[in-house]
A and B are shown apart, each in its own frame.
Chain A
Amino acid sequence: MPSLHKNRSEATELATYKELADFLAEVERRAYKQAMFAVRDEHAALDIVQDAMMKLSEKYSDRPSAELPLLFQRILQNTIRDYYRRQKVRSMWTTPVSSLVNEDAEGEHDPLETLEVENESAYDAPPPVQLERSQILATIEKSVAKLPARQREAFILRYWEEMDVSEAAQAMGCSEGSVKTHCSRATHALAETLKKLGITL
């Protein structure tokens, strides 16, 4: 209908193709990391991000561009939750076997166990000196991934996606109070983990 298209082009606050493209380009990597923290599988994380981007592009292209971040976060989290649900159904069949086989192979992995001491003289220095930057980054990512799901979501939305408390609450579908609690717990948990590993920021 031509009239509708006319209205649409007049309503400049709606997200245009370019705005959507720019938005996706800006968030895709963070979204991938976020999915990675949640599912810890490269392929699954890529699939999740692709699904989320597809849904946003297909169904919500008519929404104002200011709403895109919140919408995208909601879609992304729902997609991650769908993945969990499917995994749960699948694991109902596979757990009895895989728990016997893979338990030891996929056990807890501490990055400090794999660190090598480069020379004797540095042996007494605190661990951070021995840690390379990339290893610190990897350790932090791992610690974030280990957080309970809701705490991680709250932490990422509030501090990484830089949403305010009410936006994060909307994206997570919970109260503002819960967001604050989750954030605070996540921050304390991260601080404690890094302290244990001897990493100071």
Chain B
Amino acid sequence: MNTQQELEFAQKISNLLDQSTRELDAPIAAKLLEARKQALAHYDEKPAHAWVPAWATNTLGRITEPFSNHLGASVGLLALLLCLSGFIAWQNAGQQGSEIAELDQALLTDELPINAFLDKGFESWVRRP
């Protein structure tokens, strides 16, 4: 079978399929009509929505939707964020304090070489990184 014969044969088959499609059982044709009516009832004229990729709207929607309608939830979220930032600030303040405490401890326990106190550059030695 060459390409031309293939094409002719395929067209014959298609014509026969068309014939049998035209002679579809009435009950099925009726059900298809009903299905079409239902589908068209869902015709949606909202172009702005559809331009966004479906997954993006879905994902964003899924994340934001639970909060958008609940004022309480968003207030709670805000409070949680405030608590967290407060805790972080407190942690940082504590860390600075502990550095000074370490220095005091070294001075008090005489772990510093004695010459350090005579050194004119002691101040800068203390402040070395």
Contacts and interface: CB of A to CB of B under 8 A. Distances in A.
Contact of A49 (B12, B17, B35): B35
Contact of B19 (A20, A137, A184): A137
B90 interface: no
Given A28-B36, A57-B43, A188 B12 contact: no
Interface residues on A, range: 35 or more
Do most interface residues of chain A lie in helix, strand or loop, or is the interface mixed?
A: helix
A136 B22 CA distance: 15
Contacts, number: 116
Interface of B: 1, 6, 9-14, 16-24, 28-29, 31-33, 35-36, 38-40, 42-48, 50-51, 54
A29 B12 contact: no
A50 interface: yes
B13 A4 contact: no
Contacts of B10: 155, 158-159, 183, 187
Most-contacted residue by chain B among A32, A155, A158 (CB, 10 A): A32
A141 interface: yes
Interface in A73-87: none
6 contacts: A21-B40, A33-B20, A49-B35, A56-B39, A183-B10, A191-B9
Given A61-B43, A61-B45, A191-B1, A201 B35 contact: no
Given A144-B17, A201-B13, A53 B44 contact: no
Nearest to A57: B39
